[in-house]
């Protein structure tokens, strides 16, 4: 009987990131961006911002949550203004809600959506605050 071990031939791994919503100023939940070659290098690397130019001339921005190598078509662009905005959103925990609204302080209240339901960096509700 012949067989193949699923651990013998690692052809690639999922590259994960958080898509930046430039209009709302927030980051979506982590998602699979692409499959890249090689074994998974993990997520213990410095935060990186990736840009991809779309066929219509627009750009797609991701904060990488997986270490390089990066997917084809993406370029690391940490110093661009949009990447600075995306990094600020990550640092300030501006994670998009399901309705794509930005989590910010309500000017009429001391409570915030973050105070009411904090999110972890992976986009889940913070169980310690419930």
For residue 8, what pLDDT is reported? Answer: 56
Measure the CA dihedral 18/19/20/26, to 10°: -60
- What is the C-alpha to C-alpha distance for residues 62 and 31, in angstroms, rounded to an integer? 10
**Domain parsing of the chain, residue ranges:** 12-102
The overall pTM is greater than 0.75:
no
Percentage of the chain surpassing pLDDT 70?
Answer: 67
**29-43, 94-108, 116-130: range with highest mean pLDDT:** 29-43
pLDDT band, residue 10 (cuts 50/70/90): low
pLDDT per residue as tens digits for the range 39-87: 888 778 888 999 999 999 999 999 998 888 889 999 999 999 999 999 9
For residue 54, what pLDDT is reported? Answer: 93
For residue 28, what pLDDT is reported? Answer: 93
- What is the C-alpha to C-alpha distance for residues 89 and 63, in angstroms, rounded to an integer? 10
Strand bridging mode 12-21 / 31-37: antiparallel
For residue 47, what pLDDT is reported? Answer: 87
DSSP state of 56: T
């Amino acid at each position: 009987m012949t067989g193949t071990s699923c651990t013998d031939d690692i052809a690639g791994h999922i590259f994960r990131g958080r898509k930046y919503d430039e209009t709302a100023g927030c980051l979506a939940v982590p998602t699979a961006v692409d499959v890249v070659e090689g074994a998974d290098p993990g997520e213990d690397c410095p935060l990186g911002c990736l840009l991809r130019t779309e066929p219509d001339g627009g750009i797609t921005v991701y904060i990488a949550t997986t270490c390089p190598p990066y997917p084809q078509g993406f370029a690391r662009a940490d110093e661009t203004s949009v990447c600075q905005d995306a990094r600020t959103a990550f640092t300030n925990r501006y994670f998009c809600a399901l309705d794509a609204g930005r989590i910010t302080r309500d000017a009429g209240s001391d409570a915030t959506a973050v105070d009411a339901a904090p999110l972890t960096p992976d986009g889940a509700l913070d169980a310690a605050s419930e």
